[in-house]
Amino acid sequence: MKTNLIILMLGITLSANAQSEKGIHGKKISPDLVGIFFEDINYSADGGLYGELVQNRSFEYSPSDRDNWHKNANWHSFTAWEYITEGFGYGNISIETQAPLHKSNPHYLVIDVQDTGKNGIGIKNSGYDGIPIKAGERYDFSIFLHPLSGNPFPVQVKLIGKKGQLLSETDLTTDSNDWKKYTATLTASQTEDSAKLVVLVKATGKIALDMVSLFPSATFKNRQNGLRADLAQTLADLKPKFIRFPGGCVVHGDGLANMYRWKYTIGPVEQRVTQRSLWNYSQSAGLGYFEYFQFCEDIGAKPLPVVAAAVSCQNSGGTWRNGSNGQKVIPQNEMADYIQEILDLIEWANGPETSVWGAKRAEAGHPKPFNLEYIGVGNEDKITPEFENRFKQIFEAVKAKHPEITIVGTVGPSPKGEDYENGWKLANKLNIPVVDEHFYEKAPWFIANQKRYDSYDRSASKVYIGEYASKSNSLFDAIAEAAFMTSLERNGDVVKFASYAPLLAKVGYTQWSPDMIYFNNTHICRTPNYYVQQLFSLNNGDFYYDNIVLFYDKEKKSQVSDSTLASSCVRDSKTGDVIIKLVNTTAKVYTAAIDLSKFNGISKNAVKYTLTGSPRDRNTFDEPDNIHPETATIKLNQTSNYELAPCSLTIFRIKKR
Ligand code: AHR
């Protein structure tokens, strides 16, 4: 092979020794390797992917959402709101809890109008750093109102611009003496990136308000209670094979009361439970389990929900500061209910409309099952005896009732160490089908660790790399990830899934970096790491072939086989295309000698994708396309040499004949 390819480098085409594809063994690999992991961190949900434009719509923000570090005097029931009496009216406002719209949504606002003045009195919401509005676009407004004295109440709703200019206006009048939802559509007359929503009560008396909401009508796929279209499309463009949600650490929470409970997140939005997020802000749960599953279906990704393994984060109570274990455990006498909650999730996702939980899914607008196949149990947990005990109870109950569901376990927060080892011991003991490994490491780690899975026991648990990232958004880091990903394809018989983390970060609210996609209210910045994920996802295969590429140093006229150069070759049996990925993590040009002669049924036509630049290059909001893939169509001979640019990922997609 070596001699043949040196001959190839000299431009001589070899075909005599070509093996037919039947002669080389394509190894079956996971067709679902590349997916995404969504966690509400960095304001990814409220103020991010979730389309709601009103911040703190249900007056549920609480100072206790924050920790000591994030203490913020401006974080309370009236955050993002302002009391307005512009026409010299007067009255009072108060946050009350005596007679809420729903017990899960305890706070609401009462306006006591004593004098309406010229314009009425009311409230103004500033959204998440302003409300972005586009001229001609329609916005769906809704509000719950409850007149407490007097009725009907005339109410005016306006969108106003930065300079106070009117962008849209509508009026409504209460017609019930109880809580009732009122809706209206506002059409914007101008584009404005920082509008505000105004609600004015125009009669004297007392009225209660809650769930003040504004959505663009054009959410992703025009879904009600839907997602911000451009961000959702950016995720859809990755064509992820699965979505892991809702966390991450958000799942196990930093204390039992803070665990993510899926049942709090379904049903009418006004009945969902707003919760303190472990990331120190408030989660409205408007983006809840129904919306996650719906989004998965909308973009053709398999849902991979994660539930807590009945234990909280080991760092609960700030114990990470002194290294002690802060893991809290659901008491044994509550375990039956907790396990039932997980079984109910499976019924909610997959059960018939006639089942208790399937009926709730149908009521929400999805009579057909969601075809759930996987459930993650636990996230980066400390593998304590209590964890083992709780995990085992959940694992056995789900396996017994739902053998069709594949359970994904957890093996700690890093690629080695005590929890990794103990997690794997447990996986081997219980025969857990898949375990979740995480690594946040520097670029050289990814380059050096390409052999990591070569020696994994093929008969043991499969691996889901649920969170990984090289520690920056430079091109070099993305290319290091690409090199590592070729090794995941090579080991796609062991590594079933992989997802970069974190996925989204709002500028100015970024708590963890790097992230794959940065956004503000109007713009999106895709990182080089995004493009690597996208190129691998769009060019996946289900069979892996060895020894198709060799690398050479032209100057030294020698073969190079260290990990700074990486390649993979897969075939996608659906399209019949053969896909070669070539990665050069170095600052030098190298030659890749590609031998396609072993494949049957391929043409000379190929699409070439390249991602390259200077190692330190990044994308920014000013230059969002600084690094992006270039696409070309080319002809490829059965055997050919290709000069690999420094710091590059090149993909050849060779079309079926
Ligand atoms: O991705 C950010 C955090 O990193 C996740 O919440 C957690 O699982 C990991 O520690």
Does 303 contact ligand 1 (Cβ within 6 A)? no
Does 491 contact ligand 1 (Cβ within 6 A)? no
Confidence of residue 112 (pLDDT cuts 50, 70, 90): very high
Look at residue 350 in the predicted model and tell me its pLDDT: 98
Does 379 contact ligand 1 (Cβ within 6 A)? yes
Give the DSSP H or E segment for 121. strand 121-125
The DSSP call for residue 5 is H
Confidence of residue 22 (pLDDT cuts 50, 70, 90): low
Please name the residue that has the structure tokens 């196990």.
252
Confidence of residue 21 (pLDDT cuts 50, 70, 90): low
Closest ligand 1 atom to the C-alpha of 512?
Answer: 2
Confidence of residue 2 (pLDDT cuts 50, 70, 90): very low
Output the CA 41–ligand 1 centroid distance in Å: 9
Radius of gyration over every alpha carbon of the chain, rounded to an integer in angstroms: 28
Does 380 contact ligand 1 (Cβ within 6 A)? yes
Does 26 contact ligand 1 (Cβ within 6 A)? no
SS3 at position 656: strand
Q: Whose CA is nearest to atom 1 of ligand 1?
A: 502
Mean pLDDT of 125-154: 96
SS3 at position 139: strand
Look at residue 338 in the predicted model and tell me its pLDDT: 98
- Check pLDDT > 60 for residue 5: no
Look at residue 322 in the predicted model and tell me its pLDDT: 84
Q: Is 531 exposed, middle or buried (0-12, 13-18, 19+ CB in 10 A)?
A: buried
Q: Whose CA is nearest to atom 3 of ligand 1?
A: 248
Mean pLDDT of 119-126: 97
- Assign domain 63-216 to its CATH superfamily: Galactose-binding domain-like (2.60.120.260)
Does 570 contact ligand 1 (Cβ within 6 A)? no
Mean pLDDT of 632-643: 96
Does 414 contact ligand 1 (Cβ within 6 A)? no
Output the CA 384–ligand 1 centroid distance in Å: 19
Q: From 244, 250, 283, 380, give the residue whose CB has the most ligand 1 atoms within 8 Å, as the site to mutate.
A: 380
* Topology of the domain comprising 34-51+220-538: TIM Barrel (3.20.20)
Domain extent listing, the chain: 2-29+542-656, 34-51+220-538, 63-216
- Check pLDDT > 70 for residue 15: no
Does 512 contact ligand 1 (Cβ within 6 A)? yes
DSSP labels, 219-263:
-GGG-TT-B-HHHHHHHHTT--SEEEES-SHHHHTTSGGGS--GG
Say whether 380 is catalytic: yes
User: Do residues 394 and 377 make contact, with C-beta atoms less than 8 angstroms apart?
Assistant: yes
Amino acid type, 248: G
Look at residue 20 in the predicted model and tell me its pLDDT: 43
Helix, strand, coil: what percent of the chain each, to 5? 25, 35, 45
**pTM score, two decimals?**
0.96
Mean pLDDT of 68-95: 92
Does 502 contact ligand 1 (Cβ within 6 A)? yes
Mean pLDDT of 53-62: 98
DSSP labels, 562-608:
STTEEEEEEE-TTT--EEEEEEE-SSS-EEEEEE-TT-SSEEEEEEE
Does 41 contact ligand 1 (Cβ within 6 A)? yes
380, 437, 481, 489: the active-site residue? 380
Output the CA 326–ligand 1 centroid distance in Å: 17
SS3 at position 488: helix
Token pair in block for residue 261: 């409970």
The tens digit of pLDDT for each residue in 370-394 reads: 999 999 999 999 999 999 999 999 9
Look at residue 589 in the predicted model and tell me its pLDDT: 98
Look at residue 69 in the predicted model and tell me its pLDDT: 77
Q: From 36, 41, 249, give the residue whose CB has the most ligand 1 atoms within 8 Å, as the site to mutate.
A: 249
Output the CA 283–ligand 1 centroid distance in Å: 17
Separation CA 397–CA 410 (nearest Å): 17
Output the CA 59–ligand 1 centroid distance in Å: 28
Q: Whose CA is nearest to atom 4 of ligand 1?
A: 248
From 127, 81, 78, 67, select the one nearest 281 (Cα to Cα): 67
Q: Whose CA is nearest to atom 6 of ligand 1?
A: 248
HEC secondary structure over 265-329:
HCCCHHHCCCEECCCCCEECCCCCHHHHHHHHHHCCCEEEEEECCCECCCCHHHHHHCCCCCCCE
How much of the chain, in percent, has pLDDT values that exceed 90?
Answer: 93
- Check pLDDT > 60 for residue 136: yes
How much of the chain, in percent, has pLDDT values that exceed 70?
Answer: 96
Does 378 contact ligand 1 (Cβ within 6 A)? no
Look at residue 9 in the predicted model and tell me its pLDDT: 39
Please provide the distance, in angstroms rounded to a whole number, between the alpha carbons at the two ends of the chain.
Answer: 26
Does 514 contact ligand 1 (Cβ within 6 A)? no
Please name the residue that has the structure tokens 């420094």.
646
Q: Whose CA is nearest to atom 5 of ligand 1?
A: 248
Separation CA 284–CA 50 (nearest Å): 10
The tens digit of pLDDT for each residue in 149-189 reads: 978 999 999 999 999 999 999 999 999 999 999 999 999 99
Helix runs in 416-520, H state only = 418-430, 443-448, 475-490
Look at residue 108 in the predicted model and tell me its pLDDT: 98
Q: From 42, 438, 465, give the residue whose CB has the most ligand 1 atoms within 8 Å, as the site to mutate.
A: 438
From 459, 406, 621, 416, select the one nearest 526 (Cα to Cα): 621
Domain 2-29+542-656, second-level architecture: Sandwich (2.60)
- Check pLDDT > 50 for residue 275: yes
Mean pLDDT of the chain: 95
Distances (CA, A) of 498 to 8, 46, 214: 35, 25, 36
Does 39 contact ligand 1 (Cβ within 6 A)? yes
The total of other beta-carbon atoms located within 10 Å of residue 519's CB is 25
Output the CA 248–ligand 1 centroid distance in Å: 5
Q: From 37, 38, 40, 41, give the residue whose CB has the most ligand 1 atoms within 8 Å, as the site to mutate.
A: 41
From 394, 266, 264, select the one nearest 330 (Cα to Cα): 394
Look at residue 23 in the predicted model and tell me its pLDDT: 60
Look at residue 8 in the predicted model and tell me its pLDDT: 39
The tens digit of pLDDT for each residue in 460-491 reads: 999 999 999 999 999 999 999 999 999 999 99
